[in-house]
Amino acid sequence: MSPARWIRASYCVRGCEIATGVILAWAGLAKIGDLGSFAAQIHNFRILPVALENLAAMTLPWIEIVVALTLLLGMRSRDGARTALVLLVVFTLAVVAAVTRGLDIECGCFGTADASHVGWSKIAENVGLIAIAVIAALGPVAATERPSGVARLETGDVRS
């Protein structure tokens, strides 16, 4: 099986859905425990207007949890994976903005449970998470797709 088909196999896609769901659930639950600290971490990025920081701190963890549930339960998982992908891209852009501005701040990814700072290693970690979310968002190759090339000859499916 080619690598492209392997990453689109249903078991690989389901594994990516579960991995993304677990990470988002962990992140959301960790933030809910201390919304005040999470709001302060959002403030440190200096991206949002001050008036929206508390709203973001109160809603973002719940969005992460709902998206995580769609992925973990397999309910509208494509939509959940696409939403997770958007969230991860936005988070990564926020970290990139902080790094390029030279800010030495905690990322806030997992609330106060994780005191990791923004930096190139956090960007690399997020890019890896984005890759996993992309696989989940693309979904599995449909079983009804016609095989290509040699596989058609081997299966006797030689229609054009």
- pLDDT tens for 78-111 read 999 999 999 999 999 999 999 999 998 988 888 7
pLDDT of residue 109: 85
Residue 160: inside a domain? no
pLDDT of residue 156: 54
Using the structure block, give the residue that is written with the tokens 């936005």. Answer: 90
pTM of the model: 0.80
Q: Which residues contact 122 (CB under 8 A, 6 or more apart)?
A: 95, 107, 109, 116
> Residue 146 belongs to what domain range?
3-155
Question: Which tokens hold the place of 31?
Answer: 């933030």
Nearest to 118 by CA among 98, 141, 88: 98
pLDDT of residue 48: 94
Domains contained in the chain, number: 1
User: Is residue 70 within 8 Å of 30, Cβ to Cβ?
Assistant: no
pLDDT of residue 131: 94
Residue 8: inside a domain? yes
What size, in residues, is the chain? 160
Q: Is the dihedral of CA 34, 39, 41, 42 positive or negative?
A: positive
pLDDT of residue 155: 53
Q: Residue by residue, what is the 3-state secondary structure of 132-154?
A: HHHHHHHCCCCCCCCCCCHHHHH
User: Is residue 8 within 8 Å of 140, Cβ to Cβ?
Assistant: yes
User: Is residue 31 within 8 Å of 111, Cβ to Cβ?
Assistant: yes
Ranges of the chain with pLDDT below 70: 1-7, 113-114, 142-160
pLDDT of residue 160: 47
User: Is residue 20 within 8 Å of 28, Cβ to Cβ?
Assistant: no
User: Is residue 45 within 8 Å of 93, Cβ to Cβ?
Assistant: no
